[in-house]
A and B are shown apart, each in its own frame.
Chain A
Amino acid sequence: MKFNAWLLDVSVHGSEAILAIKTNEGERVEVRDAFYPYFYVILKGNAEEIAWYVSQHPHVARVTEEQKYAQVLRQEKEPVLKVEVESTRYFQRVIIDVKKVPGVAELAETRMPNYLKYCFEKRLTFFSFYEWECTENRRLKRIQNIPQTRFPSLNTAYLQGGETGVLQTPHEAILLQPEALEAMLREKNVDVLFTLNGDAFLKPFSKTHAFHGVQLKHGIHIDLQKDLGIDIYAEGEGARLTPENVLAFGTARLERIMELSQTACAKAAIVSRVSPGRLNTYLHMMAAKRKDYLIPDSKKLVERPKTLRLLKSLDKGGTIFYPEPGVYENVAKFDFSSMYPSIIVNYNISPETLHCDNASQFLIVPEALWRIRTDAQGIIPQGIQHVLEKRLLLKKMAKTEKDSRLREAYTTRQKALKNILVTCFGYLGFNNFVFSNVECKECVILFGRVILQRAKDIAESMHLKIVYGIVDSLFITGGSDAQYAAYQKRVSEEIGIELDLEGIFQRIVFPSAKDASGTANKYYGITRDGKLEARGIKWRHSDACVLVKRFQYQAMMHLLNEPWETARKNAEKLLKEYSRTRWPLPDYAVHMALRKPLQEYRANAAHVRAAKQLKEEALSIAFVHTVHGPLPLVRAKAEEIDREKYAYLLQQSLEELIRVPLAFVANVPSVALEVTPRNEGPRNAGGNKQRLYKD
């Protein structure tokens, strides 16, 4: 029988792979295919002898000799043995036994998930559309991909926890016991089940609870709390999630999950539970297998010995052009699009391409003078290129799409891929990533430094002024819109990485550090379309209280929209008003996360002191500063608020906005601001009043 259907899930049990697919008619079907889980043996003895010996194992189905790159750094393929085990039940047993066979150097791919191996063998990706040919009893015969730009629409349900749960579908709510869950999901043809913290409350009832949470036999289980936790761009989204809107919320997140699942070839249930770094691992495992590399079980190779001199010259971060503190107008912000991933791809940076001194084609890494071969694409660039191209395509599709629903879907998908791209650089140096190599990471940084410097040189040759630059962003002034566009085009073409014009600031302020020097990552500005952007100030800090944030916001509105002198006066008036007013108690609350048990904190910080006063330990604390010290919000009283402390915090928050050498502000008469510290004086100074700037 033949039919078209979407692939939703793959799992390997025993000696078969079970594929969960969804037909165009909405029917959920299970297709089975024979598959022996396998691993590889890297040899130090005679292949034939070892193959014969291993094949005598009662649970080994087949042993075949193949030619593979046994180690990432080997330049030549060598004979290895593929050992197929007759069932997943005996997999670990066979591994232990084969390790003891004389002539076996080591094993590979013992930790790679079996479903991933199956998907590789069959060239399958999740949530892709295929033409299926099966026998009458649903055993797979043939499968053919039919490219699609969209994803399937899935039936969803939400399970509320408790002894008797409520299964909510878009049409009904059903009371059920957890033991009856799987049967109900099958009956209602549910594809995706959402829960809030389901990995915890379903665990006692599940036989399939694994490292990656509770897995279902029928349906994909997405624990939304975990999914939000691992999404690096989901800040604040958790606040929108309520038990009433779980279905709608979860369905909106499905596009993201499906995109990551398809790109990284990871099961949807796993995507929502693992870090983006782990997705990098799956991505690069597939890239390595396509190039006939064995996936090592552990990362063993370390960086080469270096002199302290060489390490000192390499051990740097990205370039920073510190800003001259001041107030600037008409400043264009440029940002290289996915700079580090693009460098990895453009310069072919990968552990096996680096230090290839005998390569016929190579390029030289600046400063380090290492060689990178360019005659064959490396594992890491191949994995990343796929993601970069897909993201670019989705962005283009989002721009040209007229249907707003589809446009939103494409935007969600391309943002999801950003999770992989922003982590690929850090992961390149992370010791738990089997293909990591610290020297590759150093190469990326070195190229990044050269690129930013080149972009600066181009700007200066076009008579534009660099105000500030950090790693992959440049703030430039002194040009017209046409000049900025010309600069963008020239840099993108010359460097080979897209430079995006993120926006033009009508006004932007770079406050100085306390010693009047320029400081990185601290600015606030307003774009031409009225959008406020800030870095490094209290308004952006998650642990600043509402009062301070509100005050700073209002002060910034003055400072960014009015003549500077007037704005400062208004901000100072606002400060007095805020200091005088008695605000509601919650406005004074500081919210902080408690990332470890209280007894493990060495420093007795305010939030720790407040948390110790709670009856039970919590994951976060809301506290206020009172005359008796920091108290949890639930125990504080409005009349006990330490108003002096908050007045000081407000004053500090104003100071960090207006700490600007007045010589750099055009048309502003110089005025001194006297800052009065708290009674005990600042901690690191003499305790006297500080005059920031002299009259």
Chain B
Amino acid sequence: MFEPARLPNKKGLTTGRNDLDSLLALPDGLFTLRCRSTSWLFWMASTLIARNTEPGFRILYLQWVDYHDRYWSIDYDLLIRLAKRAQTDPQLMLDNTIIMRVFSRDGVEEEENWKQLFALNGPFRFIILDSINGLYSKFKREVNAKPMGYSIGRFSQLCMEKRCAGIVLDDSSAPLHPYLGELSSVILQFTHKGAWFAHLQKHPLQPEIEKEIAFRAQRTLARWLA
């Protein structure tokens, strides 16, 4: 059963890895994570959910996906595996994480849907938006970028109202939307050039930096230990 906590939690987000945590290193704000690989981004989102589940706090996961590309794409087994590895109670994670899926731009822009979100009871640990461009990437040539800007603004408003961090996932190759760039406290770009690199493009307390994020290849034994 979900029970709301009494005091707001201002602990920073953790991924379980010091190298990544040092780049995020903020208790609040809007975090934009960019990577061409949707599976990598989903892994990041799952890790954040698994590692930051706490009793008394909810996590809101907005999945804005193209129906053809990613319907039925939530990997529950991965989520549970990561939770066990993080020594988080998987049942707690399943109960405290709320998901809302939207498959069309019209759904994103509809006020009724935002009202549903704003009416949700917290407190919230953080809100993930996966992904900001998932429903817009086919309209790259559209001159009027207002809908995406509107959605970014509404999402930011939702995070402010719920007094929690917001995490925006962006898997497009297009330049970052300027409004999102403006609103984001932290912008982290992941690229794979033989190894994984994280490029910290914006942070209020750190200079721009690029560093390698070392990942061991998953071994069968490690996987089955979870």
Binding site for B on A (CB under 8 A): 298-309, 311-312, 315, 429-432, 438
Q: Does B110 lie at the interface of the complex (its beta carbon under 8 Å from any beta carbon of A)?
A: yes
User: Considering the chains assembled together, what is the distance between the CA atoms of A311 and B73 in angstroms?
Assistant: 12
* Shortest CB distance B55–A (Å): 15
Q: Does B94 lie at the interface of the complex (its beta carbon under 8 Å from any beta carbon of A)?
A: yes
Q: A301-B110, A305-B116, A308-B93 are in contact. List 20 more A-B contacts (CB 8 A).
A: A298-B104, A299-B107, A300-B106, A300-B113, A301-B112, A302-B102, A302-B107, A303-B100, A305-B60, A305-B98, A305-B100, A306-B98, A306-B99, A306-B100, A307-B94, A308-B97, A429-B67, A431-B67, A431-B107, A438-B103
Q: Does B72 lie at the interface of the complex (its beta carbon under 8 Å from any beta carbon of A)?
A: yes
Q: Does B117 lie at the interface of the complex (its beta carbon under 8 Å from any beta carbon of A)?
A: yes
Q: Which of B68-123 contact A (CB under 8 A)?
A: 71-72, 74, 76, 79, 91, 93-104, 106-107, 109-110, 112-113, 116-117, 120
* Shortest CB distance A123–B (Å): 31
B67: A residues at CB distance < 8 A: 429-431
User: Considering the chains assembled together, what is the distance between the CA atoms of A431 and B108 in angstroms?
Assistant: 12
User: Considering the chains assembled together, what is the distance between the CA atoms of A26 and B91 in angstroms?
Assistant: 72
Contact A307-B100, Cβ < 8 Å, known A302-B107, A312-B76, A431-B107: no
A301: B residues at CB distance < 8 A: 107, 110, 112-113
Interface pair B117/A302, CB less than 8 Å apart: no
B116: A residues at CB distance < 8 A: 304-305
User: Considering the chains assembled together, what is the distance between the CA atoms of A430 and B69 in angstroms?
Assistant: 12
A312: B residues at CB distance < 8 A: 76, 94
What residue in chain A is nearest B109 (Cβ atoms)?
Answer: A300
Specify the main secondary structure of chain A where it touches its partner: loop
Using an 8 Å CB-CB cutoff, how does the interface string of B115-152 with A read, 1 for contact, 0 for none?
01100100000000000000000000000000000000
* Shortest CB distance A662–B (Å): 29
* Shortest CB distance B15–A (Å): 19
User: Considering the chains assembled together, what is the distance between the CA atoms of A261 and B60 in angstroms?
Assistant: 46
Most buried by B among A300, A309, A438: A300
B61: A residues at CB distance < 8 A: 308
User: Considering the chains assembled together, what is the distance between the CA atoms of A278 and B104 in angstroms?
Assistant: 17
Interface pair A308/B107, CB less than 8 Å apart: no
* CB<8 Å pairs between A and B, sample of 16: A298-B106, A300-B106, A300-B113, A301-B110, A301-B112, A302-B107, A305-B99, A307-B95, A308-B93, A308-B97, A309-B91, A309-B95, A315-B74, A431-B67, A431-B103, A431-B104
A315: B residues at CB distance < 8 A: 72, 74, 76
Other-chain contact of A307, B74, B98, B101 (Cβ < 8 Å): B98
User: Considering the chains assembled together, what is the distance between the CA atoms of A302 and B100 in angstroms?
Assistant: 8
User: Considering the chains assembled together, what is the distance between the CA atoms of A309 and B99 in angstroms?
Assistant: 10
Binding site for A on B (CB under 8 A): 60-61, 67, 71-72, 74, 76, 79, 91, 93-104, 106-107, 109-110, 112-113, 116-117, 120
* Shortest CB distance B39–A (Å): 14
Contact A311-B107, Cβ < 8 Å, known A300-B112, A305-B116: no
* Shortest CB distance B194–A (Å): 17
Contact A305-B76, Cβ < 8 Å, known A298-B106, A312-B94, A429-B71: no
A306: B residues at CB distance < 8 A: 98-100
* Shortest CB distance B128–A (Å): 12
How many residue pairs between the two chains, A and B, have CB atoms under 8 Å in the bound complex?
72
Other-chain contact of A300, B94, B97, B110, B117 (Cβ < 8 Å): B110
User: Considering the chains assembled together, what is the distance between the CA atoms of A306 and B71 in angstroms?
Assistant: 16
User: Considering the chains assembled together, what is the distance between the CA atoms of A667 and B79 in angstroms?
Assistant: 47
Complex A-B, nearest 7 residue pairs according to Cβ-Cβ distance, in ascending order: A431-B103, A309-B94, A300-B110, A308-B97, A298-B106, A431-B104, A305-B100
User: Considering the chains assembled together, what is the distance between the CA atoms of A430 and B67 in angstroms?
Assistant: 7
User: Considering the chains assembled together, what is the distance between the CA atoms of A300 and B112 in angstroms?
Assistant: 9
A429: B residues at CB distance < 8 A: 67, 71
What residue in chain A is nearest B49 (Cβ atoms)?
Answer: A308
* Shortest CB distance B119–A (Å): 9
A307: B residues at CB distance < 8 A: 94-99
Most buried by B among A302, A306, A430: A302
Most buried by B among A301, A304, A308, A315: A308
B60: A residues at CB distance < 8 A: 305
B91: A residues at CB distance < 8 A: 309
Interface pair A299/B106, CB less than 8 Å apart: yes
* Shortest CB distance B57–A (Å): 14
What residue in chain B is nearest A309 (Cβ atoms)?
Answer: B94
A300: B residues at CB distance < 8 A: 104, 106-107, 109-110, 112-113
B104: A residues at CB distance < 8 A: 298-300, 431-432
User: Considering the chains assembled together, what is the distance between the CA atoms of A305 and B101 in angstroms?
Assistant: 8
User: Considering the chains assembled together, what is the distance between the CA atoms of A299 and B117 in angstroms?
Assistant: 18
* Shortest CB distance B91–A (Å): 8
User: Considering the chains assembled together, what is the distance between the CA atoms of A643 and B78 in angstroms?
Assistant: 43
B95: A residues at CB distance < 8 A: 307-309
Interface pair B112/A311, CB less than 8 Å apart: no
What residue in chain B is nearest A71 (Cβ atoms)?
Answer: B112
User: Considering the chains assembled together, what is the distance between the CA atoms of A301 and B114 in angstroms?
Assistant: 10
B110: A residues at CB distance < 8 A: 300-302
Other-chain contact of B101, A298, A299, A303 (Cβ < 8 Å): A303
B71: A residues at CB distance < 8 A: 429
User: Considering the chains assembled together, what is the distance between the CA atoms of A306 and B63 in angstroms?
Assistant: 12
What residue in chain B is nearest A312 (Cβ atoms)?
Answer: B76
What residue in chain B is nearest A308 (Cβ atoms)?
Answer: B97
User: Considering the chains assembled together, what is the distance between the CA atoms of A306 and B98 in angstroms?
Assistant: 5
User: Considering the chains assembled together, what is the distance between the CA atoms of A301 and B103 in angstroms?
Assistant: 10
What residue in chain B is nearest A300 (Cβ atoms)?
Answer: B110
A311: B residues at CB distance < 8 A: 74, 99
User: Considering the chains assembled together, what is the distance between the CA atoms of A567 and B96 in angstroms?
Assistant: 58
Contact A308-B103, Cβ < 8 Å, known A301-B110, A315-B72: no
Most buried by A among B60, B93, B95, B98: B98
User: Considering the chains assembled together, what is the distance between the CA atoms of A172 and B90 in angstroms?
Assistant: 76
Interface pair B99/A302, CB less than 8 Å apart: no
Interface pair A438/B101, CB less than 8 Å apart: yes
A303: B residues at CB distance < 8 A: 100-101
A430: B residues at CB distance < 8 A: 67
B120: A residues at CB distance < 8 A: 305
User: Considering the chains assembled together, what is the distance between the CA atoms of A307 and B102 in angstroms?
Assistant: 15
Interface pair A305/B117, CB less than 8 Å apart: yes
User: Considering the chains assembled together, what is the distance between the CA atoms of A301 and B109 in angstroms?
Assistant: 10
User: Considering the chains assembled together, what is the distance between the CA atoms of A308 and B53 in angstroms?
Assistant: 12
What residue in chain A is nearest B110 (Cβ atoms)?
Answer: A300
Contact A302-B101, Cβ < 8 Å, known A311-B74, A431-B107: yes
User: Considering the chains assembled together, what is the distance between the CA atoms of A568 and B113 in angstroms?
Assistant: 62
A305: B residues at CB distance < 8 A: 60, 98-100, 116-117, 120
* Shortest CB distance A301–B (Å): 7
What residue in chain A is nearest B120 (Cβ atoms)?
Answer: A305
User: Considering the chains assembled together, what is the distance between the CA atoms of A50 and B116 in angstroms?
Assistant: 30
User: Considering the chains assembled together, what is the distance between the CA atoms of A658 and B100 in angstroms?
Assistant: 46
User: Considering the chains assembled together, what is the distance between the CA atoms of A311 and B112 in angstroms?
Assistant: 21
Contact A308-B106, Cβ < 8 Å, known A301-B113, A302-B113, A315-B72: no
User: Considering the chains assembled together, what is the distance between the CA atoms of A160 and B137 in angstroms?
Assistant: 41
Interface pair A302/B94, CB less than 8 Å apart: no
B74: A residues at CB distance < 8 A: 311, 315
A302: B residues at CB distance < 8 A: 100-103, 107, 110, 113
* Shortest CB distance B61–A (Å): 8
User: Considering the chains assembled together, what is the distance between the CA atoms of A300 and B108 in angstroms?
Assistant: 8
B103: A residues at CB distance < 8 A: 302, 431, 438
* Shortest CB distance A306–B (Å): 6
User: Considering the chains assembled together, what is the distance between the CA atoms of A490 and B93 in angstroms?
Assistant: 44
* Shortest CB distance A667–B (Å): 40
* Shortest CB distance A629–B (Å): 27
* Shortest CB distance A488–B (Å): 33
